[in-house]
Amino acid sequence: MSDNPYRAPAPAAPPVASTPAAPAVAAWSDPSLDAPPPYRRPVEARLVWRGIFQMLGAHALTMVLPLFAGLVFGQRTDHGPVADGDPAYVFLLAGFFAQFVLGVVALVAGVGGIIGRDGGKGAGNLIGWVAGIPVSLIVGIVITASLANA
């Protein structure tokens, strides 16, 4: 076989070091890895319960405020944002919007708390939000049925 003229020439051999090399551990060590991790508050049960009750209270608020809006603004008129809206319709619209906003706030606060320094309250927020969803659904159905029959 003949030499290929298109092949790159072989690299030159590295120079031999005459001084002793530093240990391999020192070459790869990073001083920031030796620093202690940042302080995280330990997960305490009272903080988890506080987060749970905050979200359950927020779910209750997302039931009361739409009920109030349905009773005040739920009237049949020819103008306004809900012209054909009876109290049940206004309650449903405001309730879905309030629950959506609560879900976004709970996810941001819960995940932010878990990632940040306050893992207990963040976990409690997520637990309380998930636990309050079926309760809010049942209460919302009962309120909608009672407003529709009134």
Confidence category of residue 38, pLDDT binned at 50, 70, 90: low
Q: Which of 82, 85, 90, 100 has the alpha carbon at shortest distance from 66?
A: 90
For residue 22, give Cα distances in angstroms to 13, 19, 25, 29, 124: 21, 9, 8, 12, 51
CB 40 within 8 A of CB 117: yes
> 21 — phi, psi (to 5°)?
-75, 155
Residue 140 pLDDT > 90: yes
pLDDT at 120: 87
Q: How large is the average pLDDT for residues 87-102?
A: 92
Q: At residue 80, does pLDDT exceed 80?
A: no
Q: Is the pLDDT of residue 17 over 70?
A: no
Pairwise pLDDT comparison (147 vs 26), residue with the higher score:
147
**pTM over the 0.85 mark:** no
32: confidence class by pLDDT, cuts 50, 70, 90:
low
Neighbours of 141 (CB within 10 A): 10
Per mean pLDDT, which range of 23-32, 60-69, 106-115 is the poorest? Answer: 23-32
